[in-house]
Amino acid sequence: DQQVKQNSPSLSVQEGRISILNCDYTNSMFDYFLWYKKYPAEGPTFLISISSIKDKNEDGRFTVFLNKSAKHLSLHIVPSQPGDSAVYFCAAIEGDNDMRFGAGTRLTVKP
Amino acid sequence: EAQVTQNPRYLITVTGKKLTVTCSQNMNHEYMSWYRQDPGLGLRQIYYSMNVEVTDKGDVPEGYKVSRKEKRNFPLILESPSPNQTSLYFCASSLMGGRGDNEQFFGPGTRLTVL
- Nearest chain B CA: its distance from A9 CA (Å): 8
Best mutation target, B57, B99, B105, B111, to test chain A (most A CBs within 10 A): B99
Q: Which residues pair with B45 in a beta bridge?
A: B35
Q: What confidence score (pLDDT) does residue A13 get?
A: 98
Residues of A within 8 A of B40 (CB-CB) are 9, 103
Task: Report helix, strand and coil shares of chain A as percent, to nearest 5.
Answer: 5, 55, 40
Q: Average the pLDDT over A1-25 and give the result.
A: 95
Give the C-alpha distances (Å, rounded to integers) separating B50 from B3, B39, B54, B95. 18, 28, 6, 9
What is the strand order of the sheet B65-66 is part of?
A: B4-7, B19-25, B76-78, B65-66
Taking CB atoms and an 8 Å limit, are B99 and A93 in contact across chains?
yes
Contact B31/B97 with Cβ under 8 angstroms?
A: yes
A89 or B2, which is more confident: A89
Name the residue facing A97 among B35, B98, B100 (closest C-beta): B98
Give the C-alpha distances (Å, rounded to integers) separating B89 from A36, A43, B26. 16, 9, 19
Instruction: For residues B87 and B38, give the distance between their C-alpha atoms in angstroms, rounded to a whole number.
Output: 6
Of B21, B33, B24, nearest to B2 by C-alpha is B24
Residues of A within 8 A of B99 (CB-CB) are 32, 93, 96
Instruction: For residues B5 and B7, give the distance between their C-alpha atoms in angstroms, rounded to a whole number.
Output: 7
pLDDT for residue B102 is more than 70 = no
Q: What confidence score (pLDDT) does residue B99 get?
A: 62
Calculated CA dihedral for residues A100, A89, B21, B3, nearest 10 degrees: -110
Residues of A within 8 A of B30 (CB-CB) are none
State pLDDT tens for residues A52-93. Answer: 999 999 999 999 999 999 999 999 999 999 999 999 999 998
Q: Average the pLDDT over B23-42 and give the result.
A: 93
pLDDT band at B2 (very low <50, low <70, confident <90, very high): confident
The nearest alpha carbon in chain A to B36 belongs to: A101
Give the C-alpha distances (Å, rounded to integers) separating A77 from A62, A90, A103, B63. 5, 14, 19, 39
Using the CB atoms, write b or e for A93-110: b if 16+ within 10 Å: beeebbbbbbbbbebebe
Question: Dihedral sign, CA of B43, B49, B111, B106?
Answer: positive
A96 or A9, which is more confident: A9
Amino acid at A110: K
Residues of B within 8 A of A96 (CB-CB) are 96-97, 99
Lowest average pLDDT, out of A106-110, B27-31, B96-100, goes to: B96-100
Best mutation target, A32, A99, A101, to test chain B (most B CBs within 10 A): A99
Residue B39: partners with Cβ closer than 8 Å, 6 or more residues away:
none
